[in-house]
Structure 1
Amino acid sequence: MQNQNVILPAGQLDANGTTLILEANGDLGSVDEVGNILTKVEGLSGFVRLKDLMTVRRGYVDPATKPVYFNAQPAIMVSVEMSDSEDIQQIGKRLQASVAAFEQKQPIGISYTFSTYQETNVTVSINNALSNVAQTFVVVVLVLLIFLGLRASMIIACIVPFTVMFALAGMRFLEIDLQQISIAAVIISLGLLVDNGLVVVEDIQRRIGEGDDPKQAALTAGKQFFTPLGVASITTVSAFVPMLILVGTEGEFAFSLGAVVGVMLLGSWLTAMYILPAMSVWFARTNATKSAGRQGFLVRLYGTVVASSLMFAPLIILLTYGAVVGSMTLFAGVKKEMFPLAERAEYLIYLDMPKGTSINRTKQEALAVEKWLLDKKVNPEVRDTTVFVGDGGPRFYLALNPADANPASAFILVNTNEFAGAVSGAKRAQDYLLENHPAARFKVKRLSMGGGESGIVEIEISGPDAEKLLDMAQKVELGFAQIPGIVQNENDWGNKSLKMVINIAQDKARELGVTSEDISNIMNTFFSGTIYSTYREGTESIPIVVRAGEAFRDSLEDLANLSISAGGRLISLDQIATFQPRLEYSQLRRENQVRTIKIFGKSDLLAANQVVDLLQPTLDGLQLGEDYKLNVGGETENSSKVNNLLLGGMPAALGIMLAALMFQFNSVRRVLLTFMTIPLVVIGAPIALLATDEPLSFFAILGMISLAGIIINNAIVLIDQIDIEWQTLPLKEAVVEASTKRVTPILLTSLTTILGLMPMAINGGALFEPMATLMIGGLAVSSLLTLFFVPGGYFMLFGGFSISRS
């Protein structure tokens, strides 16, 4: 076959001045020609045709290397990825149209459908986020209406559309797409940007109420707050600097959040300085009552309490920092989580058969599971299923890491009609698999947001001895098994696989004229098949494989009875060889050239840090020795790395804050007092998380950083007002007067931010609910404390006690 099926150059012929290129062609033109090849067989005279010795047929690779099934039907998967410059919603529409056109051209029985369709998920996420924006805006306007009246609230509310337009222009310049993170940044910014407008408009109204001309009141307020609000905006934005320099997947999330908030605050400051004063002149009332008459009972009561509390300023500061320390200890009881599970209407099933399992056996197991999943009586929420056998499928989601190709593994994607069905269906599938498929190891998961899997704990042990590593890994797996709610417990080496070693009697083989190489080639051809030639059909090249029939290669007896041609006669393999089964490692992994085994564990009841705490006694009991190292990775390690990166950006953030504050105050004591307010963000945050059972997630940490900017903003405006009042009043009276003037803007800003975050805290999804909850709890407590902490600190730092004594 090899000698005939060739197309070779045969030289050139000069025929009457024309050069003819010669080609010797023995090309096989059809499958029948393959079967009609003549050959000689030892022991038979003459020639016989190949088809008389074996069956010649055209077929598919058997077994299939990576078969795919959609709803139990054989399928071909096409993965489409959008380029960065495109819009997923527009791409989705074009894909829908293209698929419909393809299907119309195909024969009956061939259908096209989407296994996973990102456009739907993106649209749902954006619509939910935009709904939260609308709800937040309505809440903010209602709060302003209640406390400031129609005209003032409408003037302040105008800052939102102007700022959003400014932000959209900035997002386009920074190449930030409209996605749920950037929309969430708009929600967070709404309370912050209202602060600038509230401070300016409230001060203008107060001055008009005191009898000033509206235009003069607007000019005076604008001049007074131009620098303080500008510096306050800079310090708030600088709190987001660590997010802007964060790298990796987390950096992609954080950059959008920090950059959009920064652009929004810049637009808010410009609007508050140049647009709102003009609108206040045009629309503000000119017959307002005097400020003293407008101050309500609560403001006067607050002024009385502040005046009384100044003499106890050291005690107030001491108690405040005591509350900070106490709140930090409460964080130990808060669940830790980098990113939550994605709220997508789908879940995943990973199937792992024992190492060495054939792909056909793996396919049978996977299709049996798929059949159960498609049973509408049992799983009415399932819309469709996709099964990848021997492969992990395409990476259709950022946090999805497809499994390595392995004949003993399969991956099943289950789409449900709605998100709630994915949650209940995953739990039902987990119970079914444990009870009905004991031969396989399964992992039932939902996708995680972010760059890594949520809740995973990874124990990494490295050292020279493979047996000792595997022994320690099994002890760790036993430790994981004792932890409540464990749904994943495995190592990346897997079980040992069975290998059959054929020990050939070399002397006897030589006597018969065969070698180990001859026997290996015969065995490989018989059981696995050998490519002897290629069948060419147009531009396609199809390998011609010679292999024994399936009925002759499916048992150990077939191995022992394998015929070997030796010395002019046929002998069975067991006449010149013995068979020795042996267990060996199916795979050994190394990191930095050192053998390393990783054990993975996950609980659906406990967070990763809680699992690590319960596993610690098992880890402490391992006798490592000096040549072995142990590392705890997974979500806890990723969280630690991200936190360290955020901390690494803090010096730059603090440096910008320091420069801005020194420009504003030119006073070490005032800058010190401003920085002293930063720890106040800790108070209230853990209480809110514990009360709502929300985790301290990556976005919750970002929320705490943004809280620092809000508190500093309030402190700057209050300190600046005290400085102004001190020019005409004694220190104590100046502190009290400034505090009463600024209490309304500070409380209204905090209230609008808190109530504006409520929609996100209630219905913001698992990604944003922890952040909104933390910000609400932290802001509610820290804003109230700031109203007493800053006046008391100012009074103490600037000699209030010595003045009082004198």
Structure 2
Amino acid sequence: MLERFTALQAIERHPLLAFFARRPVTVCVLLTATTVIGLIGMQLMPLELFPSGLESRSISVTVPYSRADAVSTPLSVERTITLPVEAELSTIPGIENLTAVSSRTGARFDIEFSGRQDMTEAYAQVTDAVERARLRLPSDTGRIQVRKSGMGGGGAGAFPIGFISFFWEDDVEDPQLKLENIVQTRLESVDGVAGVTFFGVTRKFVAVDIDRERAGAYGVNLAELMSRLRQDNVREPAGKVREEGKDIYLVADSRLKSVEQMRSLPVRPGLKLSEIAEVYETESIDSYVRVNGRWGATCMLFKSSDSNTVQVCDRVNEALAELAQDSRLAGFQTRVPWMQGDSIKESIVNLMSTLLWGALFAVIVLLVFLKSFRFSLVIALSIPLSMAMTLAVMYFMGETINILSLMGFTLAAGMLLDNAIVVAENVFRRGQLGDEPLGASIRGAGEIGLALVLSTSTTIIVFVGVIYLSGADFIRFVMSRIGIPVCVGLALSVVVALGVIPMAMHRFGMIGDRKPSRFRAWFIGLRQRITAALPGAPAGRKAALWGALALWEGASAFVGRQAGGTPRAPVIDAMAAFYERSLRLLVRQRYWVTFLVLGATFAGIPSLYLALQQTDQNQGNRDRIELRINFPPSAVIKYEALDDKGQPVIRRDELWKTYTLDELERTLWGLPRVERVTAEDVLALLASRGKTSPTNDEFMEAVSELRLAREPSEQAKQEARAQAFEKFGIEAMSISFSSRNARVSLFLDRKRLDQGNEFYKRIMAAIPERAGVELRGEFQGGSASSSEVSVLVKGPDSERLLEIAQDISRRMEGVRGVEGVRVDAEAGTDEVTLQLERERATAMNVSPDVLAQVLAFNLGGTALRDYQKGDNLIPLRVRFAPPRDARGNPRDPEMDDVGEIRVPGASGGAVAAKAVTSTSGLARPGLGEVRRLNRQTTLRVVATTSTEDLDRIRADVNEQIAGVRFPPGYSREFSGRFASFARTSGDMFTALGWSMVMVLLLMCFLFESFIKPVCILVVSVPGAILGGWGMLLATGTPNDSLSWLGLMILVGVVVNNGIVQVDLINRLRHDGIERNAAVIEGCTQRIRPILMTTLTTVFGLIPMAIGDATFVGTPYYPMGRMVLGGMMASMFYTLLFVPLLYLILDDAGLAVRAWAGTLFGSRRGGAPGVAVARSPE
């Protein structure tokens, strides 16, 4: 017999709940205040891509080598710079990985520390180690920089907040200087911008090419000439004088004002510099950039750590708008391929759309079950109220709105209704049982309060357990930031459910018998009118009436058929009746049904896991095409002069490079291939003009004339480019060229990716093959993520490593789904070893140091003080003029020229370099950089993959390279995405285990039982895993890090239905109902709230799970699909098998207690206060 409470009894038993139920004005004031604070906090909270607080475990050290551009190679830098610094750094405790990279310009070190290492102390230890190593480094080592790397803030290690491309018309003068002096200066002045890095920008320099023969004929001492040039180009303070009572500072200014003045510089009386040297402005270009078919440059923007990303990006956009109006930049155009602030705003729009649609779907579910707009809207208030109060709490916690907090809000949107639904259903049920409205509102909330606290705590404890017990720093950080809106929101939804919902139901008259609404009365009368009109209606109208009647029957299944009382939904009522009959049947066969289903579930989970594609991160839609072209080792970009417009003049032996660029652009835009200019064509043209022995300049002019005549017009190129942009949805294109490689980036319209995929296939098939030119392409997507996988090869010798890596590369080419395999060894300049013959050098009094200096100056020259040209400082470099061929044209130095260089001896004479040196013979390819990992030289074998199934690819690669033979001291390991995937998988399994343990312990604590929590956890969680992975498999979604996070969240969510189910069964048994009857009655009463809570959560997740929605390029639908599938499957498992396992475990407990009573002489029939009588089965 169920006990009924009066309002006074309910108030005495639950005074806190009665306070809220009896004071609606107070509750409304509190809700209004917290909501307003939350909305204000939302406006004031900063927006950023990634939250701060994840302390980087990495420190970088950069050691520049000032002479590297002239005489150093990566191997020499490794020997003189890398090894001494590496030796000192390796003595620091707590280092997990020490990576060293040696290049021509210096060395770079990346130091990763373990999670337990204090990073402040580590930074100090790294600084001390660098200072100790500095004593062993050459004197011309540059300023060593030690930086902390990070994800969320600014600084060197931070991720850029934007990429900007600048390009200009061909008639723009000095574009590089304008970029440096106008654009870069303006961008760096933007508040919050920490740095601007340009690519493709080159600076002019003034070259002083000394004619070796003339200088020797005039007897010029080169050392005195260098000293004179240094002294004649200075501006220094000269002291202070006093005149008319004021101090006047004097400045001695002997700076050279122009190239003409430099040419007229007297070397000695009667001899000018122009008589022994050629002085001119030029450029030395190692790389260049073309944007949308024009010369251009690309820059990366970095923000300071304490600035807001969105605000900084808005200021940058304002600065770009100002620069667009600057008359000094006439002819310049700007494209912004990516700006982080815009991506954050887009994510917020996606979030708001997801929340609104999810809330709408949840309200529709409520309407279907409750058949009342007022009732549904009162419950639906839990979403905005809980979210607004959560925003207020986050504001005072100092949190920001970022990718992880937005993801947390999206996850919580559907869950915030659960507690309100359960409370409203129980309050409504108490009213139907005859309680007074006030008493029903208080008692209904009080009865369910403990179950709500327990079910909400299980979700919160999952986040708490992972945060404090997981061994992975990144997982702890992500779960903490996602967990703040989820945990705070769910906790506040309990407050709303217990304090606001009962009060609103009581005040709005929703408890007890209700008068039918006007809409439902009209709806019931509509059928009567349709039925009455059918007999005498004409044939055409009768068909319409039959259709209307069919619609009525469908709607009545959810709106209700009877005119008065509580509306009933036949479909849901029929489902409840069918469920009750099924449960009665299953209870009788509970043993074999439960063991069969749970056995099949536990057996199916591993099989389902193996059938899934496994990856570290889904890339989502691929919206960027990347083409990478590697040129032959002999390729060099050099420009000897500038034309009158400031554009570089390309030498004849570089025509093939420009031809490759033009050919590539023509292929991209679909222009017809231009016939190549041959030497025979040029000579024939010159012969027709009577020039049988043309000079180099005449030959070049003829080449340019023929190429220009055969090329499409500029207008035709622009039209073809515009048509390709429009046809294939291309938003921007950037091409960067260097001596070794080229990179083409095509940014696509995300709404037209099918056309972009077609374009990718077309250009990959259309680009012609060239000897020595390697082409690789990939269709990228996600948050700047790469589709590359790699294998790391380690060993002592670089040449042997290269051989092993090439063998692995050949074997990996046969793996399905792997494309563009290459050895990631940047090609360096071909090397010839010049060996000093010590006996001959000693005999001729030649010092090795003097030999090295003379060779370096002859081949590379030396830099002097910058030359002032107007407001610009231009570098000044003195060097010997390049040798000339038989026709007198300049050419590159050759080994024979090096051998003829005169080297002074100690006795005053000079000898040829070849007299004291010998060479290693033929040139061999050199490495552009040497990489070391944990004091071992390494090489990477890199491949592009078009599939997300990393687990399968790793297994196939491992099988293919199993036959590679490694000499002693050499080894290989998976790196990059392969390694991160392995670490992530292990961390996720560990975190999942901790989640289950924490949920089980919490339920044991609150239920004061070990049996009841087991029956919930053993049923709900495996069902959720099966449903979640089944949904991923059915939708073809790879299992990635976000889906794993969704699975961990499921562990704390799916037990909620079982908790309220078992809690009601316990209360019914406590009231004296027989055990089996209590199980059937409790489960039947809970089917409606379980259906409602599950379906509102599921429908709230549908916008997150469908389509290809992303957060800043990272797809989050795997998490939505995992939670959606897990919730649906767990609902069926909870409804059917939790009660069965509950009875089985209770039977086992009774048997154990009976056995213990027989053994120890004490017999108890059950636990105190719980009826354990069993009905016949």
Tell me whether the two structures share a fold, i.e. TM-score over 0.5.
Answer: yes
Match of 1:219 in 2: 442
Match of 2:1132 in 1: 784
Match of 2:365 in 1: 143
Match of 2:139 in 1: none
Spell out the pairing of 1:171-210 with structure 2 (5 A cutoff). 171-210=394-433
Match of 2:976 in 1: 634
- Whole-angstrom CA distance in 2 between matches of 1:367 and 1:317: 71
Q: Which AA in structure 1 matches 2:773? A: A
- Which deviates more, 499-508 or 677-686? 499-508
- Which deviates more, 360-369 or 332-341? 360-369
- Whole-angstrom CA distance in 2 between matches of 1:516 and 1:71: 51
- Whole-angstrom CA distance in 2 between matches of 1:14 and 1:85: 47
Gap change, CA 1:782 and 1:319, over 3 Å in 2: farther
- Whole-angstrom CA distance in 1 between matches of 2:495 and 2:903: 92
- Which deviates more, 375-384 or 479-488? 375-384
Residue 331 in 1 paired to residue 609 in 2? yes
SS of 1:729's equivalent in the other structure is coil
Q: CA deviation at 1:211?
A: 2.4
Q: Which AA in structure 2 matches 1:2? A: M
Spell out the pairing of 1:151-162 with structure 2 (5 A cutoff). 151-162=374-385
Q: CA deviation at 1:475?
A: 2.2
SS of 2:610's equivalent in the other structure is helix
Residue 439 in 1 paired to residue 773 in 2? yes
Q: CA deviation at 1:336?
A: 1.0
Match of 2:1030 in 1: 687
**C-alpha contact 2:1065 2:1083 (8 A) present in aligned 1:** yes
Question: What are structure 2's unaligned runs of at least 5 residues?
Answer: 1-224, 515-564, 639-653, 670-720, 884-888, 1152-1173
Question: Which of 281, 286, 289 lines up with 2:512 in the alignment?
Answer: 286
Q: Which AA in structure 1 matches 2:1089? A: P
Aligned residues: 781
Query: Deviation per CA, 1:232-275, whole angstroms, max 9, x where unpaired?
Result: 10101222336646766666654432222112211211111111
**C-alpha contact 2:780 2:787 (8 A) present in aligned 1:** no
**C-alpha contact 1:750 1:783 (8 A) present in aligned 2:** yes
Spell out the pairing of 1:401-412 with structure 2 (5 A cutoff). 408-412=740-744
Q: What is the root-mean-square deviation in Å for CA atoms of aligned residues?
A: 3.9
Match of 1:712 in 2: 1055
- Whole-angstrom CA distance in 2 between matches of 1:668 and 1:733: 22
Gap change, CA 1:128 and 1:560, over 3 Å in 2: same
Question: What are structure 1's unaligned runs of at least 5 residues?
Answer: 41-45, 391-406
**C-alpha contact 1:363 1:389 (8 A) present in aligned 2:** no
**C-alpha contact 2:817 2:953 (8 A) present in aligned 1:** no
* Structure with more relative contact order (C-alpha pairs < 8 Å, separation 6 or more): 1
Spell out the pairing of 1:172-571 with structure 2 (5 A cutoff). 172-241=395-464, 244=467, 253-283=478-508, 284=510, 286-287=512-513, 296-322=573-599, 323-341=601-619, 343=621, 345-354=623-632, 357-360=635-638, 364=658, 369=664, 372-373=667-668, 375-378=721-724, 380=726, 381-389=729-737, 408-419=740-751, 420=753, 422-433=756-767, 435=769, 439-449=773-783, 453=785, 455-494=787-826, 498-502=830-834, 520-531=852-863, 534-536=866-868, 540=873, 542-549=875-882, 551-554=889-892, 556=894, 559=897, 564=902
Q: Which AA in structure 1 matches 2:791? A: I
- Whole-angstrom CA distance in 2 between matches of 1:799 and 1:312: 14
Match of 1:590 in 2: 932
Match of 1:696 in 2: 1039
**C-alpha contact 2:731 2:748 (8 A) present in aligned 1:** yes
Match of 1:119 in 2: 341
SS of 2:414's equivalent in the other structure is helix
Gap change, CA 1:221 and 1:370, over 3 Å in 2: farther
Match of 2:116 in 1: none
Gap change, CA 1:293 and 1:702, over 3 Å in 2: closer
Gap change, CA 1:9 and 1:487, over 3 Å in 2: closer
Q: CA deviation at 1:218?
A: 1.2
Question: Which of 923, 941, 950 lines up with 1:608 in the alignment?
Answer: 950
Q: Which AA in structure 2 matches 1:164? A: M
**C-alpha contact 1:242 1:648 (8 A) present in aligned 2:** no
Q: CA deviation at 1:600?
A: 1.8
Residue 133 in 1 paired to residue 355 in 2? yes
**C-alpha contact 1:496 1:584 (8 A) present in aligned 2:** yes
**C-alpha contact 1:530 1:547 (8 A) present in aligned 2:** no
- Structure whose CA Rg is larger: 2
**C-alpha contact 2:418 2:1093 (8 A) present in aligned 1:** yes
Match of 2:226 in 1: 2
Match of 1:676 in 2: 1018
Match of 2:262 in 1: 34
Residue 662 in 1 paired to residue 1004 in 2? yes
Gap change, CA 1:96 and 1:437, over 3 Å in 2: farther
Query: Deviation per CA, 1:559-606, whole angstroms, max 9, x where unpaired?
Result: 368564779999987787665223255143221112222222232145
- Which deviates more, 102-111 or 702-711? 102-111
TM-score, normalisation: structure 1: 0.86
Q: Which AA in structure 2 matches 1:639? A: F
Q: CA deviation at 1:137?
A: 1.2
- Aligned-pair identity in percent equals 21
Gap change, CA 1:327 and 1:630, over 3 Å in 2: same
Match of 1:401 in 2: none
Q: Which AA in structure 2 matches 1:235? A: T
**C-alpha contact 1:340 1:454 (8 A) present in aligned 2:** no
Match of 2:711 in 1: none
Gap change, CA 1:649 and 1:334, over 3 Å in 2: closer
Residue 71 in 1 paired to residue 269 in 2? no
Q: Which AA in structure 2 matches 1:463? A: G
Q: CA deviation at 1:756?
A: 2.6
Q: Which AA in structure 2 matches 1:274? A: G
Gap change, CA 1:76 and 1:472, over 3 Å in 2: closer
- Whole-angstrom CA distance in 1 between matches of 2:945 and 2:440: 62
Gap change, CA 1:522 and 1:422, over 3 Å in 2: farther
Gap change, CA 1:212 and 1:37, over 3 Å in 2: same
- Whole-angstrom CA distance in 2 between matches of 1:602 and 1:10: 59
Q: Which AA in structure 2 matches 1:126? A: I
Query: Deviation per CA, 1:700-743, whole angstroms, max 9, x where unpaired?
Result: 11111122222211111111001011122010001010000111
- Which deviates more, 612-621 or 719-728? 612-621
Gap change, CA 1:513 and 1:142, over 3 Å in 2: same
- Whole-angstrom CA distance in 2 between matches of 1:427 and 1:176: 45
- Which deviates more, 439-448 or 739-748? 439-448
- Whole-angstrom CA distance in 2 between matches of 1:572 and 1:23: 45
SS of 2:302's equivalent in the other structure is coil
Q: CA deviation at 1:292?
A: 11
Q: CA deviation at 1:188?
A: 2.3
**C-alpha contact 1:355 1:497 (8 A) present in aligned 2:** yes
Gap change, CA 1:290 and 1:9, over 3 Å in 2: closer
Q: Which AA in structure 2 matches 1:693? A: G
**C-alpha contact 2:1061 2:1086 (8 A) present in aligned 1:** yes
Q: CA deviation at 1:326?
A: 1.0
Q: Which AA in structure 1 matches 2:1063? A: D
SS of 2:820's equivalent in the other structure is strand
Residue 723 in 1 paired to residue 1098 in 2? no
Q: CA deviation at 1:26?
A: 5.6
**C-alpha contact 1:236 1:708 (8 A) present in aligned 2:** yes
